Amino acid sequence: MISRNLFKGNLVSMIASIFILYLLILLDIYGINYAFSRIVQIIMWIIWILSFPSYLSYNSSLLEKRKILEYLAPIAIIITLIGLIFLALGKFIGIELIVFGYIFEPIAGISIFLTLKKISVLFSSLFFYGAIIFTAGLPLFLFNLGIISIIGDIIKMVGLSYFIYKFK
């Protein structure tokens, strides 16, 4: 059975994924330099703030291989914070650091995947592999292929939706 904290982590992740999807669509429409706009930076800060309740909820769950999440998620949070600061200063390295920080998301998510896999292999796989596609697609915004990241985020959301609906 899914724990209450795991449910909360999934719910916060879904909320963050909705903000991420909106952000990705904006960047796909207006280009990567739109990341320097005020609206995109506000959305990125909201997503970053959501990482705390998500991490705390997941970390207090009974996850398989919990140490993976416990150690890697804070690294991702710190790297993306530094990226957000550089982005606010108008430096492109901010975007690069944010993308680098997000590389840790699917790796840290292995703990969640292994736990949710016991409930549904299909939907845990959608969640996990969607996160991988989302992350791998981020650099592709430089080549006007942001749609790959968008598709990955949607796939991840489908997997999360199942667990949120099933265990609400």
> Cα 159 vs. chain centroid, distance in angstroms?
13
The pTM score is 0.94
Q: Where are the domains of the chain?
A: 1-167
- The answer to whether residue 1 scores a pLDDT higher than 70 is no
Residue 2 has pLDDT above 70, yes or no: no
The secondary structure element, H or E, covering residue 135 is helix 121-137
CA distance 119 to 142: 37
Sign of the dihedral defined by the CA atoms of residues 73, 79, 83, 84, in that order: positive
pLDDT one-digit tens code per residue, 44-89: 999 999 999 999 999 999 899 999 999 999 999 999 999 999 999 9
User: Each residue of 77-106: pLDDT tens digit?
Assistant: 999 999 999 999 999 999 999 999 999 999
Given a cut of 80, is residue 20 above it in pLDDT?
yes
CB 102 within 8 A of CB 78: no
pLDDT tens per residue, range 93-149: 999 999 999 999 999 999 999 999 999 999 999 999 999 999 999 999 999 999 999
